[in-house]
Structure 1
């Protein structure tokens, strides 16, 4: 049981760090993309600075945090499947909740890897997205976080309604998009 609690604590530390790193990395992408609109002298200082920050965040925060999250989570899952006295996470709660959570974690890991492909593009001076598009991409981990948290808490307790989950996350995504559009319009008026 002590091993399960240790793994659970590591899992929490891992996913908190992983999400924090994802929010920070894409925010750096926003700043990096905005630097391309600066005068050449300023851009020549900012672009390498942001590239260095992006690689450090990716290698020192994001990737280790993802590994800790996965190792601790799979460790807990393994204990839940094969140890006496620990619940089988696939059998308890709402049917399929753990499958959905794992699917979202695989997709989030894909997003993590995709963010890595953006860094070299920015490094060469070709921003694949506008600052506003990067701001929207910065909200993708928020949607994963909300969905995974609700799945983990409500699914495990057997109170997860998949229709409400999809509607709720969809409504939340719409609110984020509307907020981002309003912010973009306000910035355009101020410029």
Structure 2
């Protein structure tokens, strides 16, 4: 079944909330223990998209949202403004079908096109499938934080991975082209 990617819209929030809820309850990608309600997910969506970061939806032929990915500020101090953090969530029926790869590939391209220079992946539970996906798309392991979260009756590590975007550190960024609104006066 063909998959298409497009910008996520506020009308996608019920499906996004459902996917995230399942991930919070059953997975280790998020260290949240109680799934947020749709109004909280809407506030998060607005905060991310309102600052100019990409938020992408993966849709099947029938118009069903199978997964989503977004970039957001890695940290909010101004020197970090050229670095983004990726987040990817898939519904159970979408896992293992290459949809995560499609979403991350598109997210990398959009962030590169926007002028960001680095992308970090903060992988909860040091999840092997997420590590493999990021490694396949050029991310390198830059650190592991041990026993950072306790969920589902066990301690979880957090893997930090990173990849350069565009020219990376090979040149200085042009502050006049910064895409987000987080650091603009």
State if a TM-score over 0.5 links the two structures: no
Task: Find the structure with the greater CA-based Rg.
Answer: 1
Bin the TM-score by the shorter chain. under 0.3
Quick one: higher RCO (CA 8 Å, sep 6+), 1 or 2? 1
TM-score with structure 2 setting the length: 0.27
TM-score, scaled relative to structure 1: 0.27
Structure having the larger proportion of residues in strand: 2
